[in-house]
Amino acid sequence: MAEDLVLDTAIRDWVLIPLSVVMVLIGVLRHFVAKLMRSNQVPDAKIVKEGQVVVRARNLRASANFIPPKSFRARRLYFSNEENGLLYVPKGQAQNAQAQMFSDPNMAMDMMKKNLSMIIPQTLTFAWVNFFFSGFVAAKIPFPLTQRFRSMLQNGIDLSTVDVSYVSSRSWYFLNLFGLRGLFSLILGEENATDDTQRMMQMSGFGFDPTKSLGAEKDSLDIVQHDWALPKFEQRAEAVLRKALR
Protein backbone atom coordinates (compact mmCIF):
# COMPACT_ATOMS: atom_id res chain seq x y z
CA MET A 1 0.00 0.00 0.00
CA ALA A 2 1.29 3.46 -0.89
CA GLU A 3 2.44 5.60 2.01
CA ASP A 4 1.22 9.14 2.68
CA LEU A 5 4.00 11.61 3.36
CA VAL A 6 3.92 14.89 5.26
CA LEU A 7 5.96 17.43 3.31
CA ASP A 8 8.03 19.86 5.32
CA THR A 9 7.38 23.55 4.64
CA ALA A 10 11.14 24.02 4.34
CA ILE A 11 11.08 21.90 1.17
CA ARG A 12 8.51 24.29 -0.27
CA ASP A 13 10.57 27.34 0.70
CA TRP A 14 14.02 26.04 -0.24
CA VAL A 15 13.34 23.60 -3.08
CA LEU A 16 9.98 24.04 -4.79
CA ILE A 17 9.76 27.85 -4.97
CA PRO A 18 13.48 28.52 -5.74
CA LEU A 19 13.48 25.87 -8.47
CA SER A 20 10.40 27.38 -10.12
CA VAL A 21 11.74 30.95 -9.87
CA VAL A 22 15.14 29.94 -11.28
CA MET A 23 13.50 28.16 -14.22
CA VAL A 24 11.48 31.28 -15.07
CA LEU A 25 14.53 33.55 -14.78
CA ILE A 26 16.65 31.24 -16.92
CA GLY A 27 13.91 31.17 -19.56
CA VAL A 28 13.77 34.97 -19.67
CA LEU A 29 17.58 35.17 -19.82
CA ARG A 30 17.67 32.64 -22.66
CA HIS A 31 15.16 34.71 -24.58
CA PHE A 32 17.25 37.88 -24.44
CA VAL A 33 20.52 36.06 -25.09
CA ALA A 34 18.99 34.42 -28.16
CA LYS A 35 17.82 37.83 -29.38
CA LEU A 36 21.36 39.23 -29.00
CA MET A 37 22.87 36.26 -30.85
CA ARG A 38 20.33 36.42 -33.64
CA SER A 39 21.65 37.86 -36.87
CA ASN A 40 19.77 40.45 -38.90
CA GLN A 41 19.67 38.30 -41.99
CA VAL A 42 16.90 39.19 -44.42
CA PRO A 43 14.83 36.10 -45.31
CA ASP A 44 14.85 34.91 -48.87
CA ALA A 45 11.98 36.49 -50.79
CA LYS A 46 11.41 33.30 -52.78
CA ILE A 47 10.99 31.18 -49.66
CA VAL A 48 8.60 33.72 -48.14
CA LYS A 49 6.57 33.81 -51.35
CA GLU A 50 6.35 30.02 -51.50
CA GLY A 51 5.21 29.91 -47.89
CA GLN A 52 2.46 32.45 -48.54
CA VAL A 53 1.31 30.48 -51.59
CA VAL A 54 1.02 27.32 -49.49
CA VAL A 55 -1.01 29.19 -46.86
CA ARG A 56 -3.38 30.57 -49.50
CA ALA A 57 -3.83 27.10 -51.01
CA ARG A 58 -4.63 25.64 -47.59
CA ASN A 59 -7.19 28.36 -46.98
CA LEU A 60 -8.79 27.52 -50.31
CA ARG A 61 -9.03 23.84 -49.36
CA ALA A 62 -10.47 24.69 -45.96
CA SER A 63 -13.21 27.00 -47.32
CA ALA A 64 -13.78 25.34 -50.69
CA ASN A 65 -17.40 24.40 -49.97
CA PHE A 66 -18.39 28.00 -49.22
CA ILE A 67 -17.72 29.33 -52.73
CA PRO A 68 -19.54 28.40 -55.96
CA PRO A 69 -18.18 25.47 -57.99
CA LYS A 70 -17.14 27.72 -60.88
CA SER A 71 -15.15 29.98 -58.58
CA PHE A 72 -13.49 27.03 -56.90
CA ARG A 73 -12.44 25.50 -60.22
CA ALA A 74 -10.99 28.83 -61.34
CA ARG A 75 -9.00 29.21 -58.15
CA ARG A 76 -7.76 25.62 -58.26
CA LEU A 77 -6.65 26.09 -61.85
CA TYR A 78 -4.83 29.26 -60.80
CA PHE A 79 -2.87 27.30 -58.21
CA SER A 80 -2.35 23.89 -59.84
CA ASN A 81 -2.10 24.69 -63.54
CA GLU A 82 0.62 22.54 -65.14
CA GLU A 83 1.93 25.47 -67.18
CA ASN A 84 2.06 28.51 -64.89
CA GLY A 85 0.29 27.50 -61.69
CA LEU A 86 1.63 28.88 -58.42
CA LEU A 87 1.99 25.41 -56.91
CA TYR A 88 3.56 23.81 -59.96
CA VAL A 89 7.34 23.39 -59.72
CA PRO A 90 9.18 22.02 -62.76
CA LYS A 91 11.55 19.18 -62.02
CA GLY A 92 14.57 21.11 -63.24
CA GLN A 93 13.93 23.99 -60.83
CA ALA A 94 13.79 21.87 -57.68
CA GLN A 95 16.70 22.75 -55.40
CA ASN A 96 18.45 20.77 -52.71
CA ALA A 97 17.59 22.80 -49.64
CA GLN A 98 20.14 20.99 -47.47
CA ALA A 99 22.99 21.86 -49.79
CA GLN A 100 21.73 25.42 -50.01
CA MET A 101 21.61 25.65 -46.20
CA PHE A 102 25.12 24.33 -45.76
CA SER A 103 26.43 26.62 -48.48
CA ASP A 104 25.12 29.68 -46.59
CA PRO A 105 27.49 30.30 -43.64
CA ASN A 106 25.09 32.73 -41.96
CA MET A 107 22.28 30.19 -41.90
CA ALA A 108 24.56 27.47 -40.52
CA MET A 109 25.88 29.87 -37.87
CA ASP A 110 22.35 30.84 -36.82
CA MET A 111 21.44 27.17 -36.47
CA MET A 112 24.51 26.52 -34.32
CA LYS A 113 23.74 29.53 -32.10
CA LYS A 114 20.17 28.35 -31.58
CA ASN A 115 21.35 24.88 -30.64
CA LEU A 116 23.94 26.22 -28.21
CA SER A 117 21.45 28.59 -26.57
CA MET A 118 19.14 25.60 -26.02
CA ILE A 119 21.59 22.86 -25.00
CA ILE A 120 24.01 24.72 -22.73
CA PRO A 121 21.42 26.27 -20.32
CA GLN A 122 19.52 22.99 -20.07
CA THR A 123 22.70 21.04 -19.31
CA LEU A 124 23.86 23.48 -16.64
CA THR A 125 20.42 23.74 -15.05
CA PHE A 126 19.95 19.97 -14.92
CA ALA A 127 23.41 19.55 -13.34
CA TRP A 128 22.53 22.19 -10.74
CA VAL A 129 19.19 20.53 -9.93
CA ASN A 130 20.73 17.07 -9.82
CA PHE A 131 23.52 18.21 -7.48
CA PHE A 132 21.58 20.36 -4.99
CA PHE A 133 18.01 19.01 -5.07
CA SER A 134 18.37 15.32 -5.89
CA GLY A 135 16.19 13.00 -3.81
CA PHE A 136 13.66 15.55 -2.56
CA VAL A 137 9.91 14.98 -2.66
CA ALA A 138 8.93 18.49 -3.65
CA ALA A 139 5.16 18.49 -4.18
CA LYS A 140 1.98 16.45 -4.25
CA ILE A 141 -0.64 16.45 -6.98
CA PRO A 142 -4.13 16.88 -5.49
CA PHE A 143 -5.72 14.00 -7.43
CA PRO A 144 -4.93 10.27 -7.75
CA LEU A 145 -2.88 8.89 -10.64
CA THR A 146 -2.12 5.46 -12.04
CA GLN A 147 1.20 3.64 -11.80
CA ARG A 148 2.11 4.65 -15.34
CA PHE A 149 2.89 8.16 -14.12
CA ARG A 150 5.44 6.99 -11.53
CA SER A 151 8.46 7.12 -13.83
CA MET A 152 7.48 10.59 -14.99
CA LEU A 153 6.67 12.16 -11.62
CA GLN A 154 9.17 10.38 -9.35
CA ASN A 155 12.40 10.57 -11.34
CA GLY A 156 15.30 10.08 -8.92
CA ILE A 157 13.26 8.38 -6.19
CA ASP A 158 13.45 4.59 -6.12
CA LEU A 159 10.64 3.91 -3.65
CA SER A 160 7.72 1.87 -4.90
CA THR A 161 5.79 2.42 -1.66
CA VAL A 162 5.40 6.18 -2.19
CA ASP A 163 2.10 7.26 -3.70
CA VAL A 164 2.24 8.18 -7.39
CA SER A 165 0.82 11.67 -6.77
CA TYR A 166 4.06 12.82 -5.09
CA VAL A 167 6.49 14.68 -7.36
CA SER A 168 10.26 14.57 -6.99
CA SER A 169 12.46 17.61 -7.41
CA ARG A 170 14.00 16.26 -10.62
CA SER A 171 10.58 15.60 -12.11
CA TRP A 172 9.49 19.07 -11.03
CA TYR A 173 12.38 20.44 -13.08
CA PHE A 174 11.17 18.62 -16.20
CA LEU A 175 7.57 19.73 -15.58
CA ASN A 176 8.75 23.33 -15.41
CA LEU A 177 10.96 22.87 -18.45
CA PHE A 178 8.08 21.80 -20.69
CA GLY A 179 5.17 23.41 -18.82
CA LEU A 180 6.21 27.05 -18.70
CA ARG A 181 5.63 27.74 -22.39
CA GLY A 182 2.27 29.34 -21.67
CA LEU A 183 3.79 31.62 -19.04
CA PHE A 184 6.63 32.61 -21.35
CA SER A 185 4.10 33.36 -24.09
CA LEU A 186 2.32 35.76 -21.74
CA ILE A 187 5.54 37.40 -20.54
CA LEU A 188 7.65 37.42 -23.71
CA GLY A 189 5.04 37.05 -26.46
CA GLU A 190 4.18 34.21 -28.80
CA GLU A 191 7.40 34.44 -30.84
CA ASN A 192 9.75 33.88 -27.90
CA ALA A 193 13.07 32.07 -28.00
CA THR A 194 12.33 29.69 -25.11
CA ASP A 195 10.09 27.21 -26.96
CA ASP A 196 12.29 24.12 -27.00
CA THR A 197 9.75 21.99 -28.84
CA GLN A 198 9.74 24.43 -31.75
CA ARG A 199 13.53 24.35 -31.85
CA MET A 200 13.52 20.56 -31.84
CA MET A 201 11.15 20.63 -34.78
CA GLN A 202 13.48 23.03 -36.57
CA MET A 203 16.42 20.74 -35.86
CA SER A 204 14.51 17.70 -37.11
CA GLY A 205 13.47 19.65 -40.21
CA PHE A 206 17.02 20.69 -41.03
CA GLY A 207 17.40 20.47 -44.77
CA PHE A 208 13.67 20.70 -45.49
CA ASP A 209 12.95 21.40 -49.14
CA PRO A 210 10.25 24.08 -49.53
CA THR A 211 9.49 22.96 -53.08
CA LYS A 212 8.23 19.64 -51.72
CA SER A 213 5.56 21.46 -49.72
CA LEU A 214 4.35 23.10 -52.94
CA GLY A 215 4.04 19.72 -54.63
CA ALA A 216 2.29 18.15 -51.65
CA GLU A 217 -0.18 21.03 -51.44
CA LYS A 218 -0.83 20.78 -55.18
CA ASP A 219 -1.67 17.09 -54.84
CA SER A 220 -3.97 17.80 -51.89
CA LEU A 221 -5.76 20.54 -53.79
CA ASP A 222 -6.23 18.38 -56.87
CA ILE A 223 -8.09 15.66 -54.97
CA VAL A 224 -10.51 18.00 -53.20
CA GLN A 225 -14.13 17.05 -53.92
CA HIS A 226 -16.12 20.28 -54.04
CA ASP A 227 -19.54 20.18 -52.42
CA TRP A 228 -21.08 23.63 -52.27
CA ALA A 229 -22.61 24.15 -48.85
CA LEU A 230 -24.75 27.13 -49.85
CA PRO A 231 -26.91 26.11 -52.83
CA LYS A 232 -29.85 28.43 -53.38
CA PHE A 233 -29.02 30.24 -50.16
CA GLU A 234 -30.85 33.42 -51.17
CA GLN A 235 -34.06 31.52 -51.88
CA ARG A 236 -33.84 29.67 -48.58
CA ALA A 237 -33.23 32.90 -46.67
CA GLU A 238 -36.16 34.53 -48.41
CA ALA A 239 -38.42 31.59 -47.52
CA VAL A 240 -37.38 31.77 -43.86
CA LEU A 241 -38.03 35.51 -43.72
CA ARG A 242 -41.46 35.15 -45.34
CA LYS A 243 -42.37 32.43 -42.88
CA ALA A 244 -41.21 34.55 -39.93
CA LEU A 245 -43.24 37.60 -41.05
CA ARG A 246 -46.47 35.68 -41.35
Phi and psi at residue 22, to the nearest 5°: -65, -40
pLDDT band at 206 (very low <50, low <70, confident <90, very high): very low
pLDDT of 99 > 80? The answer is: no
Judge contact between 196 and 184, C-beta under 8 A.
no
Indicate whether this model's pTM tops 0.85.
no
pLDDT tens digits along 52-66: 898 899 999 999 988
Cα–Cα distance measured from residue 216 to residue 169, given in angstroms and rounded to the nearest whole number? 45
Cα–Cα distance measured from residue 169 to residue 140, given in angstroms and rounded to the nearest whole number? 11
pLDDT of 209 > 70? The answer is: no
pLDDT of 140 > 50? The answer is: yes
| Whole-number pLDDT of residue 210 | 62
Burial classification of residue 97, based on how many CB atoms lie within 10 Å of its CB (0-12 exposed, 13-18 middle, 19 or more buried): middle
What average pLDDT does the chain have?
80
Q: How much of the chain is helix, strand and coil, in % rounded to 5?
A: 65, 5, 30
| Whole-number pLDDT of residue 75 | 93
Q: Which range in 2-6, 84-88, 189-193 is most confidently predicted, on average pLDDT? A: 84-88
User: What b/e readout covers 197-227, taking b as 16+ CB neighbours within 10 angstroms?
Assistant: eebeeeeeeeeeebbebbeebbeebeeeeee
pLDDT tens digits along 102-131: 556 666 777 777 778 788 888 999 999 989
Is the model more confident about 177 or about 194?
177
Q: Which range in 45-49, 128-132, 208-212 is most confidently predicted, on average pLDDT? A: 128-132
pLDDT band at 87 (very low <50, low <70, confident <90, very high): confident
pLDDT band at 207 (very low <50, low <70, confident <90, very high): very low
Cα–Cα distance measured from residue 169 to residue 133, given in angstroms and rounded to the nearest whole number? 6
Is the model more confident about 12 or about 236?
12
pLDDT of 202 > 80? The answer is: no
